Amino acid sequence: MKKTILVLLLTVFMIGTAAAQGGLVSVKSSHDVATTANRLESALKEKGIAVFARIDHAKGAQRIGQALKPTLLIVFGSPAMGTPLIQRSRSMGIDLPLKALIWEDSAGQVWFSYNAPDYLARRHGITEMGDAIRKMEQALSNFAMAATLP
């Protein structure tokens, strides 16, 4: 019972702090960019999900003398989840492994953004993999909560 209530509360929180636009889901974070990214990586590793890269766009901008608010891209995935989708539509390989962009906006608010799996499925013409897409959506939602909640 307590678990059900917690899940419902977290869902309401996520709906209240998430925005989806053009296939992109953005969730407000309660933490700075580095902490949000670290929390994501910890949650991924805890579930056995590989972290392939951590790209610091702000450092890249700094190297060319440009300013960019903190912006980190985390590339991660599971071949067990991704391979069947790529087998179904080889072009899905352009969007997998998954990515989370953790960034600070001009007002100082930190966001956790990712591609909505149902958007990716439509983009690549995948119609028969509903269960895999739902599992990916749930996993991404769970990782977003783990990274962004207080």
**pLDDT tier at 70 (50, 70, 90 boundaries)?**
very high
Indicate the fold that domain 2-148 takes in CATH: TATA-Binding Protein (3.30.310)
Q: Which residues of 69-86 are buried (b: 16+ CB within 10 A; e: fewer)?
A: ebbbbbebbbeebbeebb
**Domain spans in the chain, listed from the N-terminal domain onward:** 2-148
Tell whether the model's pLDDT for residue 12 goes beyond 90: no
What's the pLDDT band for 99 if we cut at 50, 70, 90? very high
What is the rounded (10 degree) CA torsion for 17, 38, 103, 149?
Answer: 10
What pLDDT score does 17 carry? 53
Contact at 8 Å (CB) between 104 and 71? yes
